[in-house]
């Protein structure tokens, strides 16, 4: 075995094999290596993975023996449906930690539904919803948590945070995750937070909105302690974002109920597109000090998760159209896509001009590119 794949061995060979030992023709590590390599190169269906393996068998044997060749699509389906997701997820998290000894910056927490993962036969399960933690700076998926069918993101986010090291990081969450218990967990784990506000927190959103809008409209408000302005041009639009921040919040009735709360913020987005002007205002609470640049950067990093994670999974990995539906397979294959995306993002450091889509093509077309992607991580 190539010593460069020791990283793969040390983490993913620990995944428990759900099969009876006397019936195993293809070791689990070979199946996982096949599926992860195939996913990097664009394979989507079980049949795709078999075709990929048959075409790349000599390449795959540089890493593992594959004495019995490539498993059938039915074997791949049965194995990925039977693997315990919690164990697979734990191995994934340990692998990510080995890539980045200490990630500092913004960790964006956001949810995504795997649209075609519902199963209308037998169990009649709904499409699964996954909440992911994404390091904006490192462009790594750090962890993921499946949302229970009878619950929502509010219960999944604390479980996700339990998997992460938050010290020195700022966690950003949209309005659904703006909860007092979640704020306390982040502070207890020595992190900071920036939460988006909407109408789900009673009067909090309205109180913050009225205060910041009235103070921002004044010429020289002493209660707006910092502000920052950023402008962008492109795609036929001109956009200016102004962030107003205040730490003068002793008047806020709910202040003491939110662990670590230090500041409130408003981001005003002024856009001109096609001669049409629009203004949108968003409101936030944060444990960060009243630093407009710092808070604005955290918010922009959270918005970027849509392009760097969700958009990539949808458009490049075709996630919403995949028809993997039964048992544990949808959740396990979501983890596989996160593994593949992490590896491709890491590889872009050496392929600076390649997009994720382009790099997947290069990996499929040229074994040297695929080897370089696998070697740096495995």
Contact predicate 143/160, CB 8 Å: yes
Of residues 364 and 377, more confidence is placed in 364
Nearest to 192 by CA among 200, 203, 184: 184
Side-by-side strand order, sheet with 276-286? 140-146, 129-135, 106-113, 170-173, 192-196, 276-286, 263-273, 237-246, 226-234
The average confidence (pLDDT) of the chain is: 87
Specify the pLDDT at position 281. 94
Q: Which residues of 28-59 are buried (b: 16+ CB within 10 A; e: fewer)?
A: bbbbbbbbbbbbbbbbbebebbbebbeebeee
Q: What is the pLDDT of residue 101?
A: 60
CA distance 240 to 280: 11
Q: Is the pLDDT of residue 204 over 90?
A: yes
What's the DSSP call for residue 4? Answer: G
Contact (Cβ atoms closer than 8 angstroms) between residue 354 and residue 348? yes
pLDDT for 3 beyond 50: no
**Nearest alpha carbon to residue 39 among 318, 308, 326:** 318
Q: How far apart are CA 308 and CA 140, in angstroms?
A: 9
Backbone phi, then psi, for 94, in 5-degree steps?
-65, -35
CA dist 72 and 88 (Å) reads: 22
Token output for 269: 């987005």
pLDDT in the model for residue 7: 62
Question: Stretch 367-371: mean pLDDT, rounded?
Answer: 93
pLDDT of 192 > 50? The answer is yes
CA–CA separation, 223 vs 378, rounded Å? 53
Residue 203 DSSP code: T
Q: How far apart are CA 93 and CA 193, in angstroms?
A: 22
- How big is the chain by its Cα radius of gyration, in Å? 23
Range scoring the smallest mean pLDDT among 35-39, 196-200, 253-257: 196-200
Q: Which of 39-43, 151-155, 224-228 has the lowest mean pLDDT?
A: 151-155
Chain position carrying tokens 């919690």:
86
E strand spans, the chain: 106-113, 129-135, 140-146, 170-173, 192-196, 226-234, 237-246, 263-273, 276-286
CA distances from 2 to 6, 61, 62, 144, 269 (A): 8, 10, 7, 30, 52
Distance CA 309, CA 311 (A): 6
Secondary structure letter of residue 319 according to DSSP: G
Question: What is the C-alpha to C-alpha distance for residues 52 and 47, in angstroms, rounded to an integer?
Answer: 9
What pLDDT was estimated at residue 354? 87
Least confident of 168-177, 243-252, 345-354: 345-354
pLDDT (tens digit per residue) in 124-178? 466 677 889 999 888 899 999 888 765 677 888 999 999 999 999 999 998 888 9
pLDDT at 206 over 70: yes
> Helices 356-365 and 367-377 sit at what angle, rounded to 10 degrees?
110
CA 161, distance to chain mean position in Å, is 13
DSSP output for 62-82: TTS--TT-SPPHHHHHHHHHH
What span, in angstroms and rounded, lies between the C-alpha atoms of 241 and 204?
23
Q: What would the two tokens of residue 167 be?
A: 């010290």
The pLDDT, as a whole number, for residue 325 is 59
pLDDT tens for residues 270-318?
Answer: 988 878 889 999 999 999 999 999 999 999 999 878 788 888 888 888 8
Share of the chain above pLDDT 90, in %: 56
Q: In the chain, what is the greatest distance between 2 CA atoms, to the nearest angstrom?
A: 78
Whether the Cβ atoms of residue 339 and residue 323 lie closer than 8 Å to each other: no
Whole-number percent of the chain with pLDDT over 70: 90
How do residues 113-130 score in pLDDT, each as one tens digit?
765 544 555 454 666 778
What is the per-residue pLDDT for 244? 97
């Amino acid at each position: 075995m190539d010593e460069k794949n020791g990283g793969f061995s040390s983490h993913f060979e620990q995944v428990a094999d759900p099969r009876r030992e006397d019936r195993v023709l293809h070791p689990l590590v070979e199946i996982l290596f096949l599926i992860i390599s195939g996913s990097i190169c664009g394979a989507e269906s079980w049949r795709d993975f078999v075709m990929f393996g048959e075409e790349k068998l000599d390449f795959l044997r540089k890493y593992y023996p594959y004495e019995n060749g490539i498993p059938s699509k039915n074997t791949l389906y049965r194995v990925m449906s039977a693997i315990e997701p919690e164990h697979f997820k734990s191995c994934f998290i340990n692998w990510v930690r080995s890539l980045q000894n200490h990630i500092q910056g913004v960790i964006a927490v956001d949810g995504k539904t795997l649209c075609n993962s519902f199963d209308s036969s037998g169990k009649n399960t709904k499409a699964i919803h996954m909440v992911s933690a994404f390091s904006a700076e490192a462009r790594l998926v750090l962890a993921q948590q499946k949302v229970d069918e009878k619950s929502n993101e509010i219960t999944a986010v604390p479980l996700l945070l339990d998997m992460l090291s938050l010290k020195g990081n700022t966690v950003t969450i949209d309005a659904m995750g703006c909860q007092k218990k979640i704020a306390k967990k982040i502070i207890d784990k020595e992190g900071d937070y920036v939460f988006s506000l909407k109408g789900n927190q009673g009067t909090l959103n309205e109180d913050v909105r009225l205060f910041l809008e009235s103070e921002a409209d004044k010429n020289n408000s002493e209660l707006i302690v910092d502000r920052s302005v950023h402008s962008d041009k492109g795609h036929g639009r001109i956009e200016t974002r102004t962030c107003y921040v205040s730490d003068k919040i002793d008047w806020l009735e709910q202040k003491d109920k939110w662990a670590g709360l230090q500041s409130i913020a408003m981001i005003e987005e002024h856009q001109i597109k096609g001669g049409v002007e629009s203004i949108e205002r968003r409101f936030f609470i944060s444990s960060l000090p009243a630093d407009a640049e710092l808070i604005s950067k955290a918010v922009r990093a959270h918005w970027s998760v849509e392009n760097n994670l969700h958009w990539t999974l949808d458009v490049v990995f075709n996630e919403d159209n995949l028809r993997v539906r039964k048992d544990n397979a949808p959740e396990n294959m979501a983890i596989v896509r996160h593994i593949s995306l992490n590896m491709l993002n890491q590889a872009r450091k050496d392929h600076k001009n390649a997009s994720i889509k382009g790099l997947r093509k290069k990996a499929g077309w040229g074994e040297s590119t695929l080897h370089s992607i696998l070697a740096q991580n495995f």
